[in-house]
Amino acid sequence: MEWTLIQDGDDVTIVGPGGLELVIAHFDPALVKQGDAQCVRDGVRMRREWSYPLSGVFLDIVSRFVDGVGSYRMFFGEAVRWDIPVTLYDALCALGRPEE
């Protein structure tokens, strides 16, 4: 199963492998923080690209670059992590941009 982002009115659902369905009810783009922290650890450059508060934890998208090759991870709090494709990363980042 591929990752999919579905918008239904104010709600956003992230669908992923293993039957994952993460619903963000009443998504508010004003709560999105983009590109606010970065670090280098063991030669790996990491940057929090996108963050959204959910029930006391954050849904974060982090980019990792090793030898110039990028990958993306989605974290739910500190305990749950998924590797995600660039297409989902792009779709989530677009949600936090103001409409033109």
Single out the residue of 81, 42, 88, 87 nearest to residue 65, CA to CA.
Answer: 42
Residue 84 is assigned to a structural domain of this protein: yes
Residue 10 is assigned to a structural domain of this protein: no
Q: Which residues, in sequence order, are CB contacts of 1 under 8 Å at separation 6+?
A: 15, 16, 17, 18
pLDDT at 44: 76
By residue range, what is the domain housing residue 52? 28-95
| Integer Cα distance of 16 and 21 in angstroms | 7
pLDDT in tens, 7-46: 999 999 999 998 999 999 999 999 988 876 777 777 777 8
pLDDT at 97: 63
Residue 48 is assigned to a structural domain of this protein: yes
Q: What is the mean pLDDT of residues 51-71?
A: 86
pLDDT at 49: 84
Residue 23 is assigned to a structural domain of this protein: no
What are the start-end ranges of the E strands in 1-100? 4-8, 11-15, 21-24, 33-41, 44-54, 57-66, 69-76, 80-84
Q: Which two tokens stand for residue 39?
A: 């670090």
| Integer Cα distance of 11 and 34 in angstroms | 20
pLDDT in tens, 84-100: 998 998 888 888 765 54
Number of domains within the chain? 1
